[in-house]
């Protein structure tokens, strides 16, 4: 009986999740610390940009999670979180490595697929971009759409610049529900967004979609 109880305790301990740990590091490119590199802690779904010294830090990371680091517009470096506190990541063309304080290891080189027409901006594209607002994401990823700022009031024009008046606002649909007068700067945190699609001809929305439609789906 005692042996069975001891065995059960070991099984239970093995199945418990590992404790969260603090991890930090510096991203180097061409031998120098690189500012503005997006580091995404993938399972935790938290992202940040490196500071002026190329540094990043997460207060809660778990062993087995993945750091996905934006190396170029079309490639990332992926590193599985292990029992380390500090790492140095080196991004040298297609040779991505990191040092965990003991030895240099090779990071996984990931080539990103091109955006599929009609798919829109995906959650992964949003997280690796490091962008923090919906207008900035649309400006960066959707061609032919104009983002205007007027005294801190940001407007999106799907059909180009005609007027900044609200009469030209596109229809915003959030999780299948129309949101009249939506403030795209504060509508929803970008880390909660599953996808953003812009329908320029408003197909399927009738008169409501005459100025184009911005369709936002959140993570369920």
Cα 184 to Cα 143, 147, 210, distances in angstroms: 18, 11, 19
User: 9 CB contacts (<8 Å, ≥6 apart)?
Assistant: none
Q: H helices within the chain, ranges in order?
A: 2-15, 123-129, 134-141
Q: Where in the chain is the domain with CATH 2.170.130.10?
A: 121-218
What pLDDT is attached to residue 3? Answer: 56
What pLDDT is attached to residue 15? Answer: 47
What pLDDT is attached to residue 171? Answer: 94
What pLDDT is attached to residue 5? Answer: 47
Please compute Rg for the chain using Cα positions. Answer: 22
Query: What is the CATH topology of the domain spanning 121-218?
Result: Ferric Hydroxamate Uptake Protein; Chain A, domain 1 (2.170.130)
| Distance (Å, whole) CA 129 – CA 138 | 11
Q: Give this prediction's pTM.
A: 0.72
What pLDDT is attached to residue 212? Answer: 92
Cα 34 to Cα 14, 52, 96, 117, 218, distances in angstroms: 39, 7, 14, 32, 31
**Class level of CATH domain 13-111:** mainly beta
Closest CA to 87 of 77, 75, 102, 65: 102
Q: What is the pLDDT along the chain (220 residues), one digit of tens a residue?
A: 555 544 544 444 444 456 889 999 999 998 999 999 999 999 999 999 999 999 999 999 999 999 999 998 889 999 999 988 899 999 998 889 999 988 999 999 988 876 666 678 999 889 988 888 999 999 888 888 888 876 667 888 887 655 445 568 899 999 999 998 899 999 999 999 999 999 988 888 888 899 999 999 999 8
């Amino acid at each position: 009986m005692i042996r069975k109880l001891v065995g059960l305790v070991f099984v239970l301990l093995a199945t418990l999740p590992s404790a969260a740990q603090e991890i930090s590091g510096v991203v180097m490119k061409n031998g120098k610390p690189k500012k503005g590199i997006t580091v995404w802690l993938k399972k935790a779904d938290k992202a940040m940009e490196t500071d002026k010294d190329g540094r990043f830090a997460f207060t809660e990371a778990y062993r087995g999670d993945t750091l996905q680091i934006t190396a170029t517009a079309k490639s990332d470096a992926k590193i599985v979180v292990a029992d380390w506190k500090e790492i140095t990541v080196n991004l040298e063309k297609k040779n991505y490595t990191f040092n965990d304080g003991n030895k240099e290891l090779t990071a996984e080189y990931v080539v990103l697929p091109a955006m599929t027409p009609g798919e829109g901006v995906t959650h992964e594209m949003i997280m690796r971009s490091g962008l923090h607002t919906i207008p900035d994401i649309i400006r960066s990823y959707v061609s032919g759409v104009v983002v205007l700022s007027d005294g801190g009031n940001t407007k999106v024009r799907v059909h180009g610049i005609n007027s900044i008046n609200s009469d030209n606002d596109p229809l915003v649909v959030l999780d299948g529900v129309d949101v009249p007068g939506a403030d795209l700067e504060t509508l929803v945190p970008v880390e909660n967004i599953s996808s953003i699609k812009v329908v320029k001809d408003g197909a399927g929305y009738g008169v409501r979609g005459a100025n184009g439609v911005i369709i936002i789906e959140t993570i369920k």
